[in-house]
Each structure stands twice: as C-alpha cells, then as structure tokens.
Amino acid sequence: MTEQKGKVFIITGGASGIGKETALKLAVQGATLVIADYNDTAAEQLVSELEASNVTAGAYKVDVSKGDEVKALIDWTVQKYGTLSGIFNNAGIGLVKPFLEMDPASYHRVIDVDQHSVYYGMYYAAKKMVELGVAGTIVNTASIYGTMAAVGSFNYNAAKAAVVMMTKSGALELAEHNIRVVAVAPGFINTPILGNDDSIKNHLGSLHMRGRIIQPEQVASVVAFLFSDAASAINGQTIPVDDGYLS
C-alpha cells in the first residue's frame, strides 16, 4: 500500500501503545514518520525497526506539555522532511486520585500533558501547514472519559472533555485552510497506561459490550483511516473506539 507516500506525519506518544501501533499502520501505507516522545530510547528503538523495513522515520525527544518544545518539533520536522501533512496529538498520562486529594499539582500536571499539549500541537502544526500552503489532517486522542465522569479522574475528565471541544472548534476555524481536525475516544486499551495488573485489565475489558479489552491496533486502524482520503468528509467529530461502551 502506498496511499500515504510522500506524506509526513508527527505522532506524539509514538513510542508506545496507541501511538506506536498507529506509526506501524501509517508506515505500511508509505508515510514518513516522526516518532515524538518523552521516552527517547523507545522512540529510537521504534525508528530503528522502521528503518530496517525501509520506512523513512525520525525520533524526536519532546515534552508535549511545553509549547516551545512542540514548536521546535514541528520546525525540525519540516526542516528535515520538507513538509507536514498531519499530526497525531496522542501523548498522554493518567494520575488517578479522589477529588479531595486532587491537589493543584496533580490537577495541573494532567491538564498540561493531556490538554495543553493538544492545543500546542494543533496551533503550531496548523500555522506551519498554512505557511506551507498545504492541506492537512490533525487527529487528537480524547477518551470515553471526555464525555463520562469517572471516579478519581477529575483532572483527566477535564482534559479529555477539552480535547473533544478543541477538536470541534479547531475544525470549524481551520476548514477554510483545508485542514481537518478529528479525534478518537478510546475505551479501555491494552497499553502500559493501564498498568500491569491483569485482574484490573480484565475487569475494565468486561465493561465493553463484547467483554474484552481493546488492543491498541484496533484504535490505530481507526486513526489511520481518519488520516486517509477515505475520511475526507469527517470533520470536527470524536469517533468512539470503545466496543459500544458509551452506546
């Protein structure tokens, strides 16, 4: 498949889980990829694997909660690969605490990493695409917790709800520049963010309609579709990938 040949995509949180699987899918489609992650060792490892399969890819260490670093990531990408076709604003963390223990540091950390990062990625990527005069696609990772409350997740609920609304608002404003903005809202996905306790993972999986945890590849295939021309009329929407959990 060469559907994405000549396209250049940045994937934040690309070294693990949903981001990594998305990189593998877009690589098969011929895209050039920038694996942008705080974990530079894992990002470089993935880039080596991609290069061994003749994929053009680069690793970039970034803390997405810092706007100047995200801007530098986008500048670096265009300098190195010549253009920018899209960004997957996907890096994220969880920090679960009861509300009465949700001190300002715990609140702000998740807002910075899960919400402000998405603004930075959208803003600097869109400005660059407009400057280059290219059409593009921005995909954000929201969550089922962007629309439903969860105990211990006040910070995460707030951040992911903002991502859902930033996706709509950004799509509205960027439409005149031929830039689409969409999001995915995963249910419970089998990645390191859920921890290593199988009994917890099995319980979370049991909440889905078909009673099993979702694999990151199942989210990645939806993200790859959203980046494709086949999804060219989908805009501003957050697509649930939750095996019916919110239905």
Q: How far is the CB of 79 from ligand NAI (least distance, A)?
A: 20
> Which has the closest alpha carbon to 131: 79, 169, 88?
79
Site residues (CB under 6 A) for ligand NAI, limited to 65-94: 65, 90-93
- The burial class, CB within 10 Å (0-12 / 13-18 / 19+), for 182 is buried
Segment 92 to 121, residues that bind ligand NAI, using CB under 6 A: 92-93, 113-114
Q: Does 167 bind ligand NAI (CB under 6 A)?
A: no
Residues 34, 60: Cα–Cα separation, whole Å:
7
Q: Which residue among 7, 9, 10, 17 contacts ligand NAI (CB under 6 A)? A: 17
* Residue 64 lies near ligand NAI (rule: CB under 6 A): yes
Q: Is 217 helix (H, G, I), strand (E, B) or coil?
A: helix
Q: Restricting to residues 197-226, name those near ligand NAI by CB under 6 A.
A: 216
* Closer to ligand NAI by Cβ: residue 93 or 134: 93
Tokens of 66: 């810092």
Least Cβ distance, residue 17 to ligand NAI (angstroms): 2
Comparing CB distances to ligand NAI, the nearer of 85 and 90 is: 90
Could you tell me if 36 and 73 are in contact, meaning their C-beta atoms sit under 8 angstroms apart? yes
Q: Do 39 and 15 meet the contact criterion of CB atoms below 8 Å apart? A: yes
**Cβ 1 to ligand NAI, closest distance in Å?**
23
